[in-house]
Amino acid sequence: MRAGTGRTRPTLSAATSISSRRDGRARVPWAKLKGMKTTGAVLTEAPGRWELAELELEDPRQGELVVEMVAAGLCHSDDHYACGDTPVARFPFAGGHEGGGVVVEVGPNTPGWSPGDHVVLSFLPVCGRCRWCSTGQQNLCDMGRFLRDGTRADGSYRLQLDGEPVAQMCGLATFSRHTLVDATAAVKVEPDLDLEAACLTGCGVGTGWGSAVNSAGIEPGHTVIVMGTGGIGANAVQGARHAGATHIVAVDPVTLKREVASQVGATHTYATMNEAIDLARSVTNGQGADSAIICTGVLEQDHVRAAFDAVRKAGTVVVTALGRADTEVAVNARELTLYQKRIQGSVFGESNPLTDIPLMLELYRSGRLLLDELITTRYRLEDINRGYDDLHAGHNVRGIIVF
């Protein structure tokens, strides 16, 4: 049984303080808190709804920052926790892993940071020293492995709810008015940048854009299919454009998503993969797409099969979408071997947070990367569940919370 399952769900209304109950698991190390109080959205069960709770933040330790959030993106990955697709290691679980804000407090002996610094938070921290960081693969930083449990590297927690430790989504918890993060997950940005747009680079943009630019192996003239053009896929479309693709085929059953995909660079849009495959073959002398990037909300076997079918010999399927924890991928083995097709997983689009977030923001500043166009609806923190209802109903390319 997962920690926290089987507990009685407190009856709550928005903006009410809630109590967590002991779940019988061994106590985890955490410091006596004397820090500030804030309001954040938490899950207390899964499947479950987001509930507002009064959270207490520990005083920042060395290498930590207290950030006052300005904006946070409603990524589908948080919804995977709420729906139960992704197991939650500990409840309460404070959500949000895409966000931007202003540093209000800096831990002791933490050089390089000052109150007032503007930051985009990266859902992957960068230690700068591990094998991955030191070989230009910051997205695979070993510190990332601690994020699953919502703890720091030593297994400790920094937020508290009525005396119980609270897990932080990706170590961040951007659905809180204030949060306490490791500075390795903060990327300083210029203060004149609009943080509502910039916050998207912490997950959605880096993931989608990088899935095209880094993972798909796109070259000038290529034909690329992007399957699912929500917050991630719309950025894969933009990445495909930057990488020089000639035909950028967006597939999404929702009209709004197809319209926005066209606005940000798709040359063709379809509601189904069959139509996209027909188009790709028609423009490649029957060979098929050079690559297909899967950015659907919940990855299913069929999505990978369709993308695998869509690509030409030696073509690439990029799997960016996340499925349920037990989803497996099967493709025809002969086709894999004899057609030399490649299936490439991609986390944060193989982007390096410390260099690619500033790069993407420069592209935004120069008008080449469109971010404002991706924000469909702004919500108050109190309306977070409406935001996720809208995501499910297909109303948003990206919804954001504005604090």
Ligand X SMILES: NC(=O)c1ccc[n+]([C@@H]2O[C@H](COP(=O)([O-])OP(=O)(O)OC[C@H]3O[C@@H](n4cnc5c(N)ncnc54)[C@H](O)[C@@H]3O)[C@@H](O)[C@H]2O)c1
List of residues contacting ligand X (CB under 6 A): 75-77, 80, 203, 207, 227-233, 251-254, 257, 295-299, 303, 320-322, 346-348, 391, 394
* Nearer Cβ to ligand X (184/320): 320
Round to whole Å and give the CA distance between 126 and 106.
Answer: 18
| Rounded least distance, CB 387 to ligand X, Å | 11
Q: Which does 184 bind (CB under 5 to 8 A by kind): Zn ion, ligand X, none?
A: none
Q: Which is nearer to Zn ion, 141 or 167 (CB)?
A: 141
Other C-beta atoms lying within 10 Å of the C-beta of residue 145: 10
Residue 228 interacting partner from Zn ion, ligand X, none (CB closer than 5 to 8 Å by kind)? ligand X
CA-based end-to-end distance of the chain: 36
Binding track, positions 304-333, relative to Zn ion; x by CB under 5 A? ------------------------------
Between the CA atoms of 365, 170, 160 and 84, what dihedral angle is there, to the nearest 10 degrees? 120
Q: Does 299 bind Zn ion (CB under 5 A)?
A: no
Q: Which position has the token pair 């989608």?
A: 208
86 φ, ψ (degrees, to nearest 5): -105, 125
DSSP single-letter state for residue 329:
-
Residue nearest to ligand X (CB): 230
Residue 269 touches which member of ligand X, Zn ion, none, C-beta under 5-8 Å by kind: none
Q: Which does 254 bind (CB under 5 to 8 A by kind): Zn ion, ligand X, none?
A: ligand X
What does the buried/exposed string (b/e) look like for 150-188 if buried means 16 or more CB atoms within 10 Å of the residue's CB?
A: bbbeeeebbbbbeebbbbbbbbbbbbbbbbbbbbbbbbb
80 touches, from ligand X, Zn ion, none (C-beta below 5 to 8 Å by class): ligand X
Q: Does 266 bind Zn ion (CB under 5 A)?
A: no
Nearest approach, Cβ of 127 to Zn ion (angstroms)?
A: 3
Q: Helix or strand or coil: residue 21?
A: coil
Partner whose footprint covers residue 141, from Zn ion, ligand X, none (CB < 5 to 8 Å by kind):
Zn ion
Site stretch for Zn ion (CB under 5 A), options 21-29, 54-62, 129-137, 170-178? 129-137
Q: Map the footprint of Zn ion across residues 136-175, applying CB under 5 A.
A: 141
Packing angle between helix 273-282 and helix 301-310, nearest 10 degrees? Answer: 10
Residue 133 binding target from Zn ion, ligand X, none, CB below 5 to 8 Å by type: Zn ion
Residue 242: Cβ within 10 Å count:
15
Whether residue 250 contacts residue 270, with contact meaning beta carbons closer than 8 Å, is answered with yes
H-assigned helices in 24-135? 76-83
User: Should residue 75 be labelled a site residue for Zn ion when binding is judged by CB under 5 A?
Assistant: yes
Strands of 274-356, DSSP E: 289-294, 311-319, 342-345
Smallest gap from residue 225 Cβ to ligand X (A) = 10
DSSP characters over 194-231: -HHHHGGGGTHHHHHHHIIIIIS---TT-EEEEE--ST
Which partner from the list ligand X, Zn ion, none does 381 bind, CB cut-off 5 to 8 Å by kind? none
Say whether residue 133 binds Zn ion (CB under 5 A): yes
Per-residue x/- mask for Zn ion, residues 201 to 220, rule CB under 5 A? --x-----------------
Radius of gyration of the chain (CA): 21
- Least separation in angstroms between residue 403's CB and ligand X is 20
Q: Is residue 127 a contact residue for Zn ion (CB under 5 A)? A: yes
Compare residues 176 and 296 and give the one whose CB is closer to ligand X. 296
Q: Which residues bind Zn ion (CB under 5 A)?
A: 75, 77, 127, 130, 133, 141, 203
